[in-house]
Amino acid sequence: MKPYRVFKHFTIPALFFLIFLPLFSHAKLNKSDSLRNVILSSKNQQEVVAAQIELARKLIPEKLDTAFFLLNKSEPFLGAGEDLTKANLFNTYGLYYWYKNKRDSAIFYLKKTIALPESDEMVQFKAEAVNNTGTLYSILGESDSSLHYLFKALDIDLKRNNQTGLAKTYYDLGVIYKRRDQLELSVQYLLKSIPIHEEQKATTRLIACLNVLAGNYFDIKDTSNSLKTYKRAEQLAMETLDTSNLTLIYSNLSSFYLMTGNSAYAIDYANKGIDLSLKTNELKKLSALYANAASAFSKMNDQKKAVELLRKAKNYTSNVSAINNAGLYMIASEIYRKAGMIDSASYFNDLGMTEAIRVGSVEWQSTGYKFLASIDSARNNFKSALKHYQKSVFLRDSILDNQHKSRIEELLIIHDLENKEKENVVLRTQNELNEQIIRNQRYVILLSVIILALVAIFALLQLKARKKIMLQKGEIEQKNLALNELNKTKDKFITIIAHDLRSPFNSLIGLLDVIVSDYNAISDNQKLQLLKSLHESSINTYNLLVNLLEWSIAQRNGLAYIPEKVSIKKAVEKVFSFLASRAAQKNHQLINNVSEETEIMTDPNILSNILINLINNSIKFTPANGIISVEVMTVADTIRIYVIDNGIGIPSERIGSIFDIDSDFQRKGTENEVGTGLGLILVKEFVELCKGNISVESEPDKGSSFCVELPQ
């Protein structure tokens, strides 16, 4: 076996990474806010429990502790006759424990779903539970149990023609057969999964399929298709900015070129992977990437560079499995031997053999004995070298014998699957005949329905007038609701004018009275302080008038929206400059984390107004020496602008109403700054005018993060 062959085992971390993709089998709709509203406002206990469970599912994996709290809070309220809610609870517990790496607990809860009574409504939850149970058994290395549940899931999804479920199960079967070294079966199932992912535009899962498929092609000596498939996966990952998958592909391509004798390309892709891993802080693949580069330099007879890279690889061995540690030690042994560092070579060979024996890897043991023979030869211990070489050959023969047996088993399985496929064709034909009979019966039923419909038409005509009245009543109710909203708006406007506008003017008048009446009695320093207070009060009053004017214009739909290409970074810089003096008064640090090239089509004046209000809000509610930053993230066809501070935050019970016109929530800033109560309401109006959305996440005493999502 050539030294570079040992690198094929460094694709194992990739396999484990891909196995975890089933956690995303069920799409998450962005309804978290509506679920929170149900939890807070609904009086129906069953409705609240169902919303808590669904919200917990959506919080996995980002907020596992919160998800677990919601699940624990929900479980005691589930009674008899709530099987669907129980199924969702058990499946969500399964996902929680999966992400916590407590796989036995995850399987325990998934099996509780499987044990629930059968029904048409239950099939969706059971299919999820059966499939995820099969995937977990695959991760645990219990391939027989895994196949049992995966084929059970396949049967369920075939019967209900669930393409998403079928694609996931085909993929999972491809992974488990790869782990069993039954590569042709793995290829068959992956090729069934790929077109469904393509049709559904499930790019992340498609990349995962291509990665596993490319590895299979290589293992069956089809290097042309292997490279072609890796390249396609690389292109998709680059187009979708999928950095995690892209790092994995770079690692696999580095191994590919290393094992096909192209050391320069192997180094190039290893360096790409290393740069991307360090940039994104994804450290799990660094050990394999450094090891690939080290082996490539060793093959190019640059042993000094190879040893240097090996030392870097060792810094990340804690991130890989025991079997891959065994591989790394063996590679280190061979490279040190080539570098003439025989003692180091022997030391690492011993470490590799210890790991290989511990995990039961016959292949690594065979490799270790082969390398040990080379070390003995370098020490002129030829008798020991021959003995170790014979052990290596013996173990290699046993591996080939097992592969031969596995191939025979695989051919038998393929034969059985082909027979089963023929049986399925017969069953489908019989089903088509049954469906034809059902269609004929439906025609008879349809004729009967038509006759009954003619009889019912007369009655329907009598009801028509009544329906018209009901529709008119509904329209009147809708208009009443609209009028109520207008009244709320009017009341808010009057309240602000009557209270907030009067108060600043009273302050101005009071300060002027003090200056006029006691002008000669007060000192110059006191006069200066009074003038500063007068100046600040005037600014607040002016800001209130501006907000009132802009808000009233927006309410009358009179505000023009004129989009143009805007540099977000420059817009933020302009607002920071405008608010610099206010921030300086509280010694705040304003940070612009927006990149130069980020641009958006929007109205620049409206964008500036949004930023001014949000940043001004952060300045007001952040104590002295605070940090206020602006960041941008591109998601699909939208741009998210975040204004983040470490201020006093917003009480959780108030977050849902801070953008509402009828909200009575007002408070002073950290240095008793007064507000108009209109800033966030204006922001919401402007964001909706730009066809966007605004949301906020906040914790008391930790700060707030306002997110404005605008279309690109």
Residue spans per domain, the chain: 321-401, 559-711
pLDDT, tens only, 419-459: 555 555 555 556 566 667 777 777 778 877 788 877 778 77
Q: Are 618 and 702 in contact (CB under 8 A)?
A: no
Residue 65 CB contacts under 8 Å (≥ 6 apart), including other chains? none
**Residue 571 confidence (pLDDT):** 92
**Residue 19 confidence (pLDDT):** 38
**Residue 484 confidence (pLDDT):** 73
* 3-state class percentages of the chain: helix first, strand second, coil last, to nearest 5: 75, 5, 20
Q: Are 289 and 320 in contact (CB under 8 A)?
A: no
Homologous superfamily of the 559-711 domain (CATH): Histidine kinase-like ATPase, C-terminal domain (3.30.565.10)
Ramachandran region, residue 311 (left: φ > 0; alpha: ψ -120 to 50; beta: rest): alpha
What one-character DSSP code corresponds to residue 588? P
Ramachandran region, residue 38 (left: φ > 0; alpha: ψ -120 to 50; beta: rest): alpha
**CB neighbours (10 Å) of residue 91?**
24
Partnered with residue 693 across adjacent β-strands are: 709
**CB neighbours (10 Å) of residue 364?**
25
CATH assignment of 321-401, among 3.30.70, 1.10.3470, 3.40.50, 1.25.40: 1.25.40
What one-character DSSP code corresponds to residue 648? S
Alpha-carbon distance of 299 to 339, in angstroms, equals: 11
Q: Are 330 and 349 in contact (CB under 8 A)?
A: yes
What are the strands of the beta sheet with 627-635, ordered from one edge?
589-592, 627-635, 638-645, 703-711, 693-699
Q: Closest Cα partner for 252 from 226, 278, 275, 222?
A: 226
Alpha-carbon distance of 361 to 364, in angstroms, equals: 6
Ramachandran region, residue 643 (left: φ > 0; alpha: ψ -120 to 50; beta: rest): beta
Partnered with residue 566 across adjacent β-strands are: 600
Alpha-carbon distance of 215 to 8, in angstroms, equals: 9
**CB neighbours (10 Å) of residue 225?**
15
Q: Closest Cα partner for 147 from 180, 187, 112, 114?
A: 180
Give the SS3 label for residue 285.
coil
Using alpha carbons only, what angle is made at residue 409 by residues 403 and 412, rounded to the nearest 5 degrees? Answer: 145
pTM to 2 decimals? 0.48
Q: Helices (H) and strands (E) in the chain — how many of each?
A: 25, 7
Mean pLDDT in consecutive groups of 10 residues from the start of the chain, 712 residues: 38 38 41 79 85 89 88 81 85 90 90 87 87 85 83 84 87 84 84 90 90 88 90 91 88 89 90 88 81 85 83 72 68 79 82 76 77 80 78 71 51 51 53 68 79 78 77 79 65 54 64 76 80 74 65 59 90 87 88 92 88 90 94 92 93 82 70 71 85 92 93 86
Q: Are 1 and 315 in contact (CB under 8 A)?
A: no
Alpha helices (runs of H) in 567-702, residue ranges in sequence order: 568-585, 604-620, 679-689
How many residues in the chain? Answer: 712
- What single letter denotes the amino acid at residue 297? F
**CA 391 to mean position of chain CA atoms:** 48
Alpha-carbon distance of 701 to 29, in angstroms, equals: 30
**CB neighbours (10 Å) of residue 3?**
20
**CB neighbours (10 Å) of residue 691?**
10
Alpha-carbon distance of 324 to 330, in angstroms, equals: 10
Alpha-carbon distance of 662 to 657, in angstroms, equals: 8
Alpha-carbon distance of 17 to 184, in angstroms, equals: 21
Structure tokens given for 373: 């023979």
